[in-house]
Structure 1
């Protein structure tokens, strides 16, 4: 009954499974998430990821069963709920729990649960047959599904959610579904997922000629150079309006297939091919105008309607005239931003909302006021949504530029930053102001601040340097629309929103520029500096991937250039996504200097535990809640603390309390010299915290040290001095005895011998800790 879980696995569970299963089909201690990143203040720390005791595979990347092990003294069913939870997350049909004496099986395909002996664990063939019955696939479908993933020395295995997305899509196509939708949050590897889907369908022979459609040139180039590189011998990038024959995989912008100035009787480029030319079409970012009913881009999909069409998007959308849910059907799989952050594959964020008085009140022209071009402004009030579009206010722009600069000084001057502005002209003005306010940085490198917009060819060419993880410059990119989607910028640590965002789709795409993690460069989280209150969108349930409700007006028209920047809701007639309307010579807005403009209020928010809402709370409030989840009362905490063999292990057992305590110290300088015990008691239970020096004085006053003399007394006094400097965790670590304050007494064995040996030394430490915490906080 004293067997540990590891011994139970080694002696009973592993032999039971290996009796029928090949060792290569069993993965033990398989971690399938990385662990959520906790960010409080300047501290970042990962929680422990989810880990399955056993994952069983009938073929590579097709896990079929998860087994949760418990020690001999547990009931066999004690782990079944965790096994079911893991099976549901991993899309696995069979879940098992065992204590080494019996198995409990839960069949997720039927809902039936049963118990059986250790020598009756099902064979791979038996589980495979049961799974086939639940899916009812034909022999031809099975042949497609059985095609292996692409693998090489340069490739990597899919993450669990990518595997599910790939497998479900392959199965849908194998069943004969003609339209398939995949929803995956920005930064979760949609392109890699698409590559594996195309590879397996192409290798199976089910899909021989394939078209991959995107709406920006950089998306095509990134895809070809990175994830699709293994296709290089059979892949072709469509150039111009001439569609060449003889390739198997075609990579193209929508614009290559459509002529916008078509003459009467002239065919569209796609009509030069037969309508059954392609077997498969993959539509990247299909939330955009590819599915708008009256769009000529949609006409491409309609023409090749015999092909299987797979839509990829980070933002499922249900809006009149552009409903990708209606077109493709319900998603076969959704992996949301919330889940990506929870799993630790996407970066968490902090939002700083900055409110400017002119935005709150509107700009009210004085009577007969004229702008800087001597034009009468009139009496209309310019509300926030018109600022930057219909009126430019110089002092407001300077305030925004100064606040951006101040934030970079706080989080790091070399933090890659994207500043979203109302239009390209405002982006250029912002670039000039940021150059002025960051002269020392610009002096080091003239590309510290650049404008990257579709009509700025020089700036646009710097886009590749901006997203290159090996390139330090550019650091700050001002833009309007160009960087709202598709750009894989792993190192982007600050998103500045200073444009109106009325579309949830656009908002998610903008924020998506920061969600990627780049651990080699220390990028584990990102900040959002919001001047337009756009982050109110985080409170919408749509944040987790539910389709948007229909809207009447598109507002900002931010779905990638479907509307004229700053010019209402009417889209221009089929303008390619990389081309903005020409800038007219006459000023298209009023220009004023502004008066009495200032930031009147700011507050910081963190992503809440539900993953959907933003919580306005201090680190202290957050820590209080985290502690009380473990110990609801002071007595329960006091008892657990005093009974803990080692305080370090005790604190680690409370998830991220150690990191949070450090963040609380950072937020409250008066707690800098307080012990973890005192901070916990103070934060969670309103106790009066004592300094570590005050605790040491209490030990001395009670006469505890009178029982020691000579070297023993001096060693204890040195330990207490180290406790005063760094806290309880360090004095529990025997390596502290290697410091000069202790080596004068000899090496570690000699020091411990002063107290009678290692056990006696440990007993002394326990007594010392009891004395230190005898007085409650």
Structure 2
């Protein structure tokens, strides 16, 4: 056997896998080959998108199904034994795996990430690969896991037989949390930061399950501040707890359960009727706090009293947006995050939907509006003579024409992208949401005539709208399509198929901004949701450029900070909260809760606060631009051509370099696939430049400013050269048919071996007859190669 002639897969099958089995690794439960651990980033340009390549490890080894312990990168024998090490190390860092190997079938290079002094890399013969127990002992020593903690750390995940298992980042979050709690090193407060849409609740379920099943934690409380969060949780992953779990309602306590789900409001109120005191302070030994950046982050909040009462329990905070200001700190209470999985990382991995931004600038917003002398409002009262700007509109003054234009712009987008694309319009307050519902109903009169639920106001005070919130969230329910809201839908709403988020509110809070963006980040490919669009009328997306947008949380509480972006006037307008289940007014002094605009209609402040309403004002769009998310997670304004040129030139700096790469490629389609994996959308380019052009010509034209030829022009050039006269009649007829096929369909079909079985080629003869006409398979392949070279002759 000549190893040099074997493929990488043959090396795995004949040398690496047998070495692993000989070392004691179970091929059924401990060895996984060709493991894709990301979904491949989605790239968006225009209305089109493509997925990039998935990250895939050749081998991941598991001590237990929940504990990945080693990664192996294989190469064929033409490479050295250490050729795959850098790639493997990159995977290991992402996957939080300590032991890394590369192999070419001759030996293993072992990189031990747990080594602090001495040789970090050693070469091992094939027959000396470490056993599972050897690596597990090294793992435990590295993680400082004592023998008595071993059963807790090794406790299996919950498995329901569906084949569902945690994604790699969920696995890291769960394992780090379980290991930290199991070691019990004196700190009983912990924080996990995971972007919206990445499955925090599923991770929480697995943490609770493993700690409960191992016997370490016997009574657990899952604490939230929104009814929707509790309802989604008990109906979702927590349903597997069955009779062991209960939801605390109406402040009725039954101590017979193991797992409790509760609202803060269900455990406490302002009248000292604190239901949580029916439990003894040591009743719970684990408390999971969902969305912990909200009420519980404040030292002086009523909600913090509940956590302080159960101070002896282990507290784990979950959030996508840790709150870190001069007054409030999630990390001061919960500690620095055990693990952070950001929005940017989720998009890079392809687990979260990317976004494009349509930024619309209205003249009155950019330049301000000053009423002419003697101008009166709709009630006939004089309008104060001053300049009104973006922060005034819909809060202090309402311009009918502005709302109409915003509604028309939203409708124009939906008519171009899909009238039934679920849309959330974020407004300044409840009155603005009411007004936008009317403006959107008028702009979409045709659809509203079919169903009055096409546009609905879904706010904390609107019972009819709240009843349809579940229908809006459900992918299978067509209505409502457009939801106007203020704060209700900014968090805790699992809107899987939301394709358009409209920002027509003056959002200054980074926390709120992240939560709002999170409404669109879920992917649901079954319903065509692969990316979403943000339509910004208030320049809110300028927050994307803020260093806080997707960085790790930094503790700044008690620091001097004059430019605190999170303490805006919009958040502190009201301290009253209407519970979204009961409709009761609850007073919790927490200005950062996302529900702050749910002001009870009957309050004097709401009744007396007056907005000036005017009409007869001309409002026009000054500027509109489309922005995309770049490779580094930053928003960029760039044309499709500029984007394509930059990406192609990063791979091939010159035309000569590209032509050389194209000529040397066995299959031209491979180059096209590679470029598409890096975000080049040839379908979008053909839509903009012309569908008759081959990817080769699109590349040469856009990246290197060459004159493009259509596919038919290239085919005719080959015919004029009469290059294939050396073949017989049948072969020449096949070549002519192939040229015609190319002119119609492009290079993909030309390089496909099955093309001779398709019309019109198959009309000329059977596949064996066609192959024989060229003198055999090798001669046919050579003819196709020559034909390709002739087509792309420069």
Matches within 5 A, 1:482-631: 482-547=488-553, 551=564, 554-555=567-568, 557=570, 573=589, 580-583=598-601, 584-586=606-608, 588-611=610-633, 613-631=634-652
Q: 1:251 to 1:627 in 2, by over 3 A?
A: same
Tell me which residue corresponds to 2:372: 366
Deviation at 1:706, TM superposition (A): 4.7
Deviation of 1:722 (Å): 2.1
Whether 2:791 is the aligned partner of 1:772: answer yes
Q: Does 1:723 align with 2:745?
A: no
Classify 1:127/1:561 alpha carbon distance in 2 versus 1 (closer, same or farther; 3 Å): farther
Where does residue 444 of structure 1 map in the other structure?
450
Q: How far is the alpha carbon of 1:717 from its aligned partner?
A: 2.6
- Per-residue CA distance 1:705-764 (angstroms, 9 max, x = gap): 554564443333322222222222222224333444333322222233333333323222
Match of 2:194 in 1: 184
Distance apart, 1:560 and its partner CA: 12
Query: Unaligned regions of 5+ residues in structure 1, if any?
Result: 566-570
Give the equivalent residue in structure 1 for 2:75: 70
Distance 1:578-1:42 versus aligned 2 partners, 3 A rule: closer
How is 1:293-304 mapped onto 2 (pairs within 5 angstroms)?
Answer: 293-304=299-310
More off after superposition, 473-482 vs 575-584: 575-584
**Structure 1 residues 658 and 146: CA distance shift in structure 2, 3 A:** closer
Q: Does 1:102 align with 2:115?
A: no
**1:647 paired residue number:** 668
Q: Find 2:12's aligned residue among 4, 9, 14.
A: 9
Change over 3 Å in CA distance of 1:115–1:351 after alignment to 2:
same
Q: Evaluate the alpha carbon distance shift between residue 626 and residue 552 of structure 1 in structure 2; reply closer, same or farther with a 3 A threshold.
A: closer
Deviations 1:58-104 (A, max 9, x none): 11210111111111121111111111111111111100111111211
Q: Secondary structure at the match of 1:38?
A: strand
Does the C-alpha gap of structure 1 residues 243 and 744 become closer, same or farther in structure 2, counting only changes over 3 Å?
closer
Compute the displacement of 1:563 (Å).
7.8
Conservation of the 8 A alpha-carbon contact between 2:400 and 2:614: yes
| 1:149 aligns to 2:162 (yes or no) | no
2:582 equivalent in structure 1 = none
> For 2:542, what is the secondary structure of its paired residue?
helix
CA distance in 2, matches of 1:134, 1:284: 31
Q: CA deviation at 1:610?
A: 0.9
Report how far residue 704 of structure 1 moved: 2.5
Residue 744 of structure 1 aligns to a residue in which SS?
helix
- The answer on whether the counterparts of 2:51 and 2:679 sit within 8 Å (CA) in structure 1 is no
Match of 1:93 among 88, 91, 98: 98
Partner of 2:320: 314
Could you say which residue in structure 1 is the equivalent of 2:702? 683
**Shift in Å at residue 504 of structure 1?**
0.9
Mapped to 2, the partners of 1:738 and 1:376 lie a distance apart of 80
Cα distance between partner residues in 2 of 1:434 and 1:408: 11
Aligned 8 A contact 1:627 1:657 in 2: no
The answer as to whether partners of 1:652 and 1:658 remain within 8 angstroms in 2 is: no
Tell me, in whole angstroms, the C-alpha distance in 1 between the residues paired with 2:786 and 2:573: 67
| 1:410-445 Cα distance to aligned partner (Å, 9 max, x none) | 111111111111111111111112122212222333
Partner of 1:114: 122
Q: Secondary structure at the match of 2:490?
A: coil
Contact 1:506 1:559 in 2 (8 A): no
* Correspondence 1:228 to 2:228: no
Partners of 1:64 and 1:77 in 2: CA distance: 19
**What TM-score results when the alignment is normalised by the length of structure 2?**
0.92
Instruction: Give per-residue Cα distances to partners, 1:224-261, cap 9 Å, x unaligned.
Output: 0011001231222112234343222221111112222x
Given candidates 345, 351, 358, the residue that maps to 1:345 is 351
Q: What RMSD in Å do the two structures reach over aligned CA positions?
A: 2.3
CA contact (8 A) 2:491 2:594 kept: no
- Contact conserved, 2:505 with 2:538, CA < 8 A, in 1? yes
Aligned to 2:395: 389
**Counterpart contact for 1:281–1:308, Cα < 8 Å:** yes
| CA distance 1:561–1:547, change in 2 (3 Å) | farther
Gaps of 5+ in 2: 579-586
For the residue of structure 2 that corresponds to 1:282, the secondary structure is strand
Instruction: Pick which of 295-304 and 333-342 moved more.
Output: 295-304
Change (3 A) 1:574 1:91: closer
Q: Which deviations, in whole Å up to 9, do the C-alpha atoms of 1:537-574 show, x marking residues without a partner?
A: 11123232422665176215459986899xxxxx9746
- Cα pair 2:52 2:678 within 8 Å, conserved: no
Contact 1:67–1:95, Cα closer than 8 Å, also in 2 = yes
* Residue 383 of structure 1: how far off its partner (Å): 1.7
Moved more, 736-745 or 644-653: 736-745
SS in 1 for 2:179: helix
1:334, 1:545 within 8 Å by CA — same for their partners in 2?
Answer: no
Q: Give the count of matched residue pairs.
A: 763
The Cα of 1:672 is off from its aligned counterpart by 2.6
Give the corresponding residue for 2:26.
22
Distance in 2 (CA, whole Å) between partners of 1:701 and 1:574 is 79
Contact 1:183 1:331 in 2 (8 A): yes
**1:370-411 Cα shifts (integer Å, max 9, x gaps):** 321233331232221221111111100011000100111111
Task: Output the TM-score relative to the length of structure 1.
Answer: 0.94
Q: Secondary structure at the match of 1:610?
A: coil
- Report the equivalent of 1:568: none
Cα distance in 2 for partners of 1:405, 1:393 equals 19
Aligned pairs (5 A) from 1:78-477: 78-111=83-116, 112-154=120-162, 156-176=164-184, 177-260=187-270, 262=271, 266=272, 268-477=274-483
In the TM superposition, residue 342 of structure 1 has moved relative to its aligned partner by: 0.9
Structure 1, residues 142-191: CA drift from partner, whole Å, max 9, x if none?
23212221111257211111011001011111122310000000000000
Tell me which of 751, 754, 765 is aligned to 1:735. 754
After alignment, is 628-637 or 692-701 more displaced?
Answer: 692-701
Are the counterparts in 1 of residues 324 and 553 from structure 2 also a CA contact under 8 Å?
A: yes
Query: Is the counterpart of residue 638 in structure 1 residue 659 in structure 2?
Result: yes
**Structure 1 residues 267, 708: closer, same or farther in 2, change over 3 A?**
closer
Deviates further, 548-557 or 211-220: 548-557
Is the CA contact 1:692–1:724 (under 8 Å) kept in the aligned structure 2?
yes
Cα distance between partner residues in 1 of 2:759 and 2:494: 50
